[in-house]
Amino acid sequence: MDDAPKTLLITLSGKDRPGVTSAVFSTLTGAGVEVLDVEQIVLRRRLVLGVLVTAPRDWKRLRAAVEETAAALDMTVDVDRGVGDNKTRAEGRSHVTVIGSPLKAVHMAAVAGRIADCGANIDRIERMARYPVTAIDLHVSGADTDKLRTLLAGEAATHSIDIAVQPANLLRRGMRLIVLDVDSTLIQGEVIELLAAHAGQQDAVARATEAAMAGELDFEQSLRDRVARLAGVPASAIDEVYDELVLSPGARTMVRTLRRLGYRFGLVSGGFSQITDRLADDLGIHYSRANELEVVDGRLTGRIVGDVIDRAGKAQALREFAEAVGVPLEAVIAIGDGANDLDMLNAAGLGIAFNAKAVVQEAADTTVNVPYLDTIMYLLGISREEIEAADAEAGIVTPSPPV
């Protein structure tokens, strides 16, 4: 006679339909068992339900009842005896978010391989989005987060995908402050280049801006030199430039969604307050800090009022915003693309290089190289389905993904 087991692991799989989970637990109710663990997933309308229960004295009778229930549901079932409860996760828990467009099997194989190489385990995998990018979140245990981030950075570069590695802690669920750069981050393009077009100086300013963002020029001196080229431009050009601005895809969605969750936002820009303050009002952003263009008699003088918001100034603004909100720096997310964002990214608990220069990507905690700013939310554990459901409740219609 078989030795009586202490536990039973019941694994049911088949086409998902309403009532499956209810039917299984109704069957288990009759045996008076205790539920030790439950996991359920639905993948492409296929359901997999695993239930670990204490084994009753007449465990074979329960097995037969479960098999009968599965047959009635036209599903398959396995009943394994003597399976222990899940062990407590090993120390060193991380979230590894993989983003690709497209995301291929070879990419996931590379990620899983590096995780295995450092002796870590993938405890759970969740899809965060399938359109317009594919985003997958892996719950990993048994590896130091920093070591894992370093290992996976190489795979991200090799396969041209984005991989973010964050510690699994309560900060991911709490209210946070998000501080964004503006030019080429919140918006597409550079405001100073659009203004320079009104002075016939766009090409020269664009070259200097590119060099400054790559860290090849001192930011303050470069900015003053570029602004000097704007002397004589009518102040009305600021309004015209504002009307030309194009937000990065997903910017409104990100701000709208995270504001619902109580997040706070700040803009910190090496650009100009005449633009950034209006952007903040338009998007519902709480704080804004930027340089002020001097205007005299309705024209730009080619000078800046007060001190320049440079690399150090951006980091200082971030700290002041965090103090005003009342959150620690560990709860701040900074997003930027240029060398003048480096101190700000380093000061934040999570620094994200968004379509950034090489020097920034190398220094940031993680990189995002797809053009959609709302992919940042996948790093926070918020899925595309949740975003769209919240928008639907507010009467906002989102485009349907391709079938």
Is 183 one of the catalytic residues?
A: yes
Number of H helices, E strands in the chain: 14, 17
- List 16, 162, 181, 310, catalytic entry: 181
- d(C-alpha 289, C-alpha 221), whole Å: 19
Give the Å distances, CA to CA, from 108 to 9, 18, 127, 158: 28, 32, 13, 13
DSSP class of 55: P
The DSSP 8-state label assigned to residue 307 in this structure reads S
> Comparing C-alpha atoms, which of 338, 179, 354 is closest to residue 249?
354
Element (H, E) at 314: helix 311-325
Cβ pair 114, 155 in contact under 8 A: yes
Task: Select from 328, 360, 358 the least CA-distant residue to 344.
Answer: 360
207 vs 219: CA distance, rounded Å: 13
E strand or H helix that includes residue 192: helix 191-197
Alpha-carbon span 243 to 279, nearest angstrom: 11
d(CA 224, CA 226): 5
- Using DSSP, state whether 27 is helix, strand or coil: helix
Q: Is 365 a catalytic residue?
A: no
Decide: helix, strand or coil at residue 316: helix
Among the options 16, 137, 183, 374, which is catalytic? 183
Whether 136 and 109 have beta carbons less than 8 Å apart is answered as: no
Active site residues: 181, 183
